[in-house]
Every structure is written in structure tokens, then in C-alpha cells.
């Protein structure tokens, strides 16, 4: 029985889970959620995921959320011997370390780039911290093909989805050559990359317009 995943494609964490599932040949049944229609706050979805965020999965009654935890769970349950989430304690610890670094980067992207796209004010200190984080990641990646060891891991997939998110938001990583070389290399080598991560410009713009309208409506309601 396929695992239900509640998602929308523009979301980097959702795309990271999709790529993980493809790597370990796990079938996911996509159930699309539209944040611009308030579906994250619908009673049915909040009952499933009280944090009202995507992705969330329902594996035959076992429900969980948080993309990186989902990726770890899928590997542990369905591909325990896969090097995608290595068994070796030190290698796994390094994967977990990168996953946590990716969380910090993703939060900063949401606080700055995404917020700015939706027409909301951005704190200068948050924007400064975002590019400081990217510069640090660029330095840490160096000339590596993969973040951990010599094979693809879920750390690569998670950070790659986040990296693709910066492209969707029209950000150029040319000033961060190691980060760009690493992400471009994976984008070229993963056969599913384009299908999962590339969103047509018109689809992206429509989503942004819808979210702007929704957030404006919510702001008006809060000010009444």
C-alpha cells in the first residue's frame, strides 16, 4: 500500500522527501495541499498534522511530519542497508550534522527570500545571516562531490532541495563556487532532478501571487 504524502511541489522539504523515496524505490501517493487556499489550516489537515506544515506522511496509519525525520524513517524502514543513510555511526552523525545545518539555512531562506517575495518586511540582520550561512556552507563543501564520504546521502538530497529553492527565488550562487559546483553536479547526475525540482516560471509566479493575496487577506482579518 503506497504511503500518502501531503505536499506542494514548490516546498523544498517536500521535494527532498520525494527524491529520497525515488532513491530507495518507495511509492508515494501525492496528496496536494495548497497553502494559498488556507488548506494547511483546514480541520482535516490540522488533525493529521497539528503543526500545519508540509510534508507529512501517513504510512498505513503511522503519521509523521518534518521532512528530515521522514527521510530518516523511510531509509530506516524500507532501505536499512542503503548507504543513503549509512549505518556507520560516524558517517551517520555527519549526515545528521548536515541535515541540521540545512534546517538553519532553510529557516533563513524562509525569513528573508520567501518573506520578501510575498511582499512582507525583511529584517536586515536576517538577510545578512542568510548569506553568512551560505558562505560558510560554500567553504565547508570545498571540492566535494558529496557532503559525506564518497556516496550520495539524504544530507545531499535535503540541501540540494534547499539549494534549488534559491534558484526558484531568482538567487545566483555564482559568488559561492563550491556550493554551486556541488549542486550543479548533483542536478546533472540525478536522473529525476528536473522532474522533481524544476517548477515552470508561470506556475511559480501564480503560486507567489496566490500566497501574496492569501497573506494580505489574513493580515486584514487579524487587524479587524
Instruction: Just list the catalytic residues.
Output: 11
Q: Report which of 95, 87, 77, 91 is spatially closest to residue 16, judged by C-alpha positions.
A: 95
Nearest Cα to Cα of residue 45 among 61, 60, 31: 31
CA–chain centroid gap for 138, Å, is 18
CA-CA distances (angstroms) from residue 106 to 11, 110, 114, 129, 200? 11, 6, 10, 12, 21
C-alpha to C-alpha distance for 222 and 224, rounded to whole angstroms: 6
CA distances from 107 to 57, 111, 183, 196 (A): 21, 6, 19, 21
Closest CA to 111 of 97, 126, 99, 124: 126
Amino acid at each position: 500500500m503506497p504511503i500518502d504524502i501531503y505536499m506542494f511541489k514548490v516546498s523544498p522539504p517536500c521535494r527532498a522527501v520525494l527524491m529520497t523515496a525515488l532513491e530507495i524505490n518507495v511509492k508515494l501517493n501525492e496528496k496536494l495541499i495548497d497553502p494559498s487556499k488556507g488548506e494547511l489550516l483546514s480541520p482535516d489537515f490540522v488533525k493529521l498534522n497539528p503543526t500545519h506544515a508540509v510534508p507529512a506522511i501517513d504510512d498505513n496509519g503511522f503519521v509523521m511530519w518534518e521532512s528530515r525525520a521522514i527521510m530518516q524513517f523511510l531509509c530506516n524502514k524500507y532501505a536499512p542497508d542503503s548507504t543513503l543513510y549509512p549505518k556507520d555511526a560516524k558517517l551517520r552523525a555527519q549526515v545528521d550534522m548536515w541535515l541540521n545545518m540545512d534546517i538553519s539555512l532553510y529557516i533563513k531562506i524562509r525569513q528573508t527570500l520567501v518573506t520578501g517575495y510575498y511582499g512582507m518586511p525583511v529584517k536586515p540582520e536576517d538577510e545578512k545571516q542568510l548569506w553568512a550561512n551560505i558562505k560558510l556552507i560554500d567553504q565547508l563543501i570545498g571540492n566535494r562531490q558529496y557532503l559525506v564520504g564518497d556516496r550520495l546521502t539524504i544530507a545531499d538530497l535535503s540541501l540540494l532541495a534547499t539549494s534549488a529553492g534559491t534558484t526558484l527565488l531568482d538567487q545566483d550562487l555564482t559568488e559561492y563556487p563550491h556550493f554551486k559546483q556541488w549542486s550543479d553536479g548533483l542536478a546533472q547526475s540525478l536522473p529525476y532532478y528536473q522532474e522533481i525540482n524544476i517548477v515552470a516560471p508561470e506556475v511559480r509566479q501564480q503560486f507567489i501571487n496566490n500566497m501574496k493575496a492569501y497573506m494580505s487577506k489574513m493580515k486584514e482579518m487579524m487587524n479587524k
